[in-house]
A and B are shown apart, each in its own frame.
Chain A
Amino acid sequence: MIRKYSKLLYFVALIGMMGCAKSLDLSPIDKIRPEDLFGDPEGTKLYMANLYYQLPIEDFTYFRQGFRQNAQDPNNGGFAPAMVTDEAMHTEFGDFVGDGDFHFWEPGYKLVRDVNILSDVIPTLNINAEERKGLIGEAAFIKAFTYFGLVKRYGGVSLIKAAQAYNSDPNALKVPRSTEKETWDYVLALCDTAAANLGVAPGRRANKYTALALKSRAALHAASIAKFGGLAPMSGEAVSQKLVGLEAGDAAGYYAQCIDASKQIMESNAYGLYKPTPANPTEAAENYRQMFADPNVANIEAILIKGYTLPGNSLGHNYDIWYQPAQVANGWPHPGRMNPTLDLVDIYESYTAPGQNAPVITTTDGNITDYNGYAPSKNYIRFNTPNEIFKNKDARLWATMVLPSTQWKNTNIIIQAGYVKPNGEAVIRTKDEIEINGVKYYTYGAPSTSMYSGFDTYGGNNTRTGFSFKKFMNDAKPIVPGWNQSTTDFIEFRYAEVLLNYAEAVAEGGAGDVAVATKALNDIRKRAGHTVDITLTPANVQRERRVELAFENKRYWDLIRRREYHTVFNNRRMHTLLPLQDLRALPETKYIFVRVDVPNANPRTFEPKAYYRYIPGIGSNGLVQNPQY
């Protein structure tokens, strides 16, 4: 009995002691304290690397499923964001913008929290003033980039300016959405903070000019929504609370901010165009191609590069395996997915007619709206090669796409859709061969699937538009047939975009220096081999933008911010150029071309509600949903 009591006594004593000793107030040993992490320059670097890694950079790993699609199984069919615009089609998929596509909600707020943790401890860190300034600037840049990624998708969002602490009441964490205007203004203010605190040293981290380049882009986006929002009016609670949409009267102010930010970069002379004065279009095409095959040669133009160093899961990307033409697949089973459209090809200027689109003319009557297919009665123009029809077209066409019968990796890339037999009967997009005077001719230009890159539906590996893809493609080494093996770097901000932003803001806003803007526009054209200047008009700026920035994932946002998407994509079909060998011309080798709708594809229509993505999880976060979701 006594033993029992003594046991109880021990227990009571133990309880009593817990109240006195602070033995349980230990600092956790499985967590790193901020002062330890950021007090060490290497620790800061490590944390920064993680923040930069999470930036919403729409590069080679950005697909409709979201950012960084290069983890263990990145198989998304190679359906690039360009394929929901008028830039390209996929070889097989005909998908369009889905409600669940291109989101950035959870990763966005995760990054907001991560960068808030940093900016909250900056004042407490034991570092010198210069380092502190740099950190303040960098944190502001990352925050601005993150909120830019959110506001352009969702409109006004919850602005969480400091890390939230959880005190057992989840409702205390709920922050209602700010208006779209407040959100844009916050992004631009953060850019100003970043620019004011950052240095000018170039490198892979943000400097003053990176912050200004972001501001230039963001201000132009906001200005466009303000100016063109009326083209796609919306209604609903989010609209009446001004959570989406800007007033037309705000446009001028945002254009002015874009002009100011761009001008600071242009006047700094810290950057310029890469190889601005080529001797001829051929040289211009090669310069332009090289800049994207390895951005590091173009440090003068690249303001911020996102680097890829090692192949491997979550390290490399998949642009080379998805998009190089079928003939150079090197054993990879799914190449050739990027099919640039005839619609884009038509936009590229001709050196013989500067300042206007130069649509591909296939018949003597010059009809470019006839997409009914081949008819023996039509008068087709005969060409000597499968690419003579593109003669005199802008160098960037040749550098962005692999055109029929051009060289790529020392291979003649054959893209042929069929032939016209001597009797006038055409065989198109069907595997066939014919022997004439002892010579065999093949519909696809060669006998077997490994020897051509166009129009055969075999494996979904051949282009169905008549064009394959070159920009960003690595020509230096053979394709490594596996996931995440490409390490081409991506230019997120480049000087040409800043020039185009400036030109557009001046052309649309009316303020700014027209002469400077006209020169900016023509400098870019000169770099592409043009010799005749054109005037500054909104249409000229947009054409130049589409051509210069093609496939840099800018077109989607241009269509969104200028509210053109629902007009450009209203029952819209993309188009194909069929190169056919005309065997009626034998013994001469002649080719004709037929403009047609992209085969096996349906027209697509943009729903105006898709100008904004839906806000995920309104059931628990209590936010106001965007219109029509």
Chain B
Amino acid sequence: MKKLQHIFLAGLVAFGMMACEKDNYDGPTAGLSGRFIDAETKQLVEQDIIRGTTIELLEHGYANPSPQYLIVKNDGSYANTMLFANTYTVRPVRGNFVSVEAQEVVIKGQTTLDFTVTPYIRFTDVTIKKEGNKILASFKLKQSVINNVKKIGLYAHSDFRVGEPMRLVAAERELNAVSNPNEVYTLEINLTDNSNTLKAGRKYFFRIGALIDVGEAKLNYAPAVGIDL
């Protein structure tokens, strides 16, 4: 009887210890970071933090894997430092530039991958300034594809990551036409009319954007400008 008890006890301990065993898999040690660079101007391509360009990652070695998506920062750089080392198919999707091909990337350690892209719309001669009770923006558009420009907009937010999806106030104009490279486009936000949202004495960020008429395209932007009201 004693023997039986011993056996039972030994079994129980063994069973209990099964739960304690350390899993021998490493955590994610690799990462992927980089930038979106304008092929022509060599500047970073400005993005949206919400609903902006995303990078689709498909990890190799699995049947029918669910894609992972990386979000791109406002300034056009991105980073994910917690990926598992492996081979991935990497493709930026739903961006504000002429779409680029997917590529296979071996991600091992902190890997850097820059994309050289052609943004749909570039801005030149940008000025955003406060004049009286108005914020005035003027700029020229230079588009790199033949599609129409759907709309242009001036967006305001208290956060520097301002954009079309992240704004307190917007002044937008529908163009629905091919833009004229020589025309100076202007947009304005009347501060009096928006006194409830854009409060005097505080700092707000203003950014101009333009949307090309391409399916799922995101807006292109010029860098945001901070103005004390």
Contact = CB atoms under 8 A, between A and B. Distances in A.
B131 interface: no
A427 B51 CA distance: 40
Given A235-B216, A607-B51, A625 B66 contact: yes
Contacts of B181: none
B195 interface: yes
B216 A233 contact: yes
B66 A373 contact: no
B193 A233 contact: no
A235 B66 contact: no
Contact of A235 (B64, B193, B196, B215): B215
B165 A372 contact: no
Given A233-B216, A235-B215, A571-B170, A371 B196 contact: yes
A370 interface: yes
Given A235-B215, A571-B167, A618 B66 contact: yes
Given A233-B215, A235-B94, A370 B193 contact: yes
Contacts of B93: 235
A373 B194 CA distance: 10
A100 interface: no
Nearest to A607: B51
A622 B64 CA distance: 8
Contacts of A230: 215
A625 B216 CA distance: 18
A252 interface: no
Q: Is the interface of B mostly helix, strand, loop or mixed?
A: loop
Given A571-B167, A607-B51, A622-B64, A373 B216 contact: no
A488 B165 CA distance: 41
A278 to B, nearest CB: 42
A605 interface: yes
A282 to B, nearest CB: 38
Contact of B193 (A372, A373, A571, A608): A372
A328 B128 CA distance: 54
Interface in A598-629: 605, 607-608, 618, 622, 625, 628
Interface in B163-190: 164-165, 167, 170
A233 B64 CA distance: 24
Nearest to B170: A571
Contacts of B165: 570-571, 605
A628 B94 CA distance: 10
Interface in B130-166: 164-165
Interface string A201-243: 0000000000000000000000000000010011100000000
Nearest to B194: A372
B25 to A, nearest CB: 19
B66 to A, nearest CB: 7
A69 to B, nearest CB: 30
B53 to A, nearest CB: 13
B5 to A, nearest CB: 32
Interface in B72-124: 93-94
A273 B170 CA distance: 45
B196 A373 contact: yes
Nearest to B63: A622
Most interface-central of B50, B165, B170 (chain A CB within 10 A): B165
A626 to B, nearest CB: 12
Nearest to A605: B165
A372 B215 contact: no
Contacts of B195: 372
Nearest to B172: A570
A607 B165 CA distance: 10
Contact of B196 (A372, A608, A618, A625): A372
Contacts of A605: 50-51, 165
Interface in A575-608: 605, 607-608
Nearest to A236: B93
Interface string B10-42: 000000000000000000000000000000000
A479 B167 CA distance: 43
A552 to B, nearest CB: 31
Contacts of B167: 571
B52 to A, nearest CB: 12
- Tell which of B50, B66, B194, B196 has the most Cβ of chain A within 10 Å: B196
Contacts of B197: 372
Contacts of A618: 64, 66
A95 B64 CA distance: 33
Interface string B45-75: 0000011000000000000101000000000
13 contacts: A234-B216, A235-B93, A235-B216, A370-B193, A371-B196, A372-B193, A372-B197, A571-B164, A605-B50, A605-B51, A618-B64, A622-B64, A628-B94
Interface of A: 230, 233-235, 370-373, 570-571, 605, 607-608, 618, 622, 625, 628
Given A230-B215, A571-B167, 17 more contacts: A233-B215, A234-B216, A235-B93, A235-B94, A370-B193, A371-B196, A372-B193, A372-B195, A372-B196, A570-B165, A571-B165, A571-B170, A605-B50, A605-B51, A618-B66, A622-B64, A628-B94
The 4 closest A-B pairs by CB, nearest first: A233-B215, A372-B196, A233-B216, A373-B196
Interface of B: 50-51, 64, 66, 93-94, 164-165, 167, 170, 193-197, 215-216
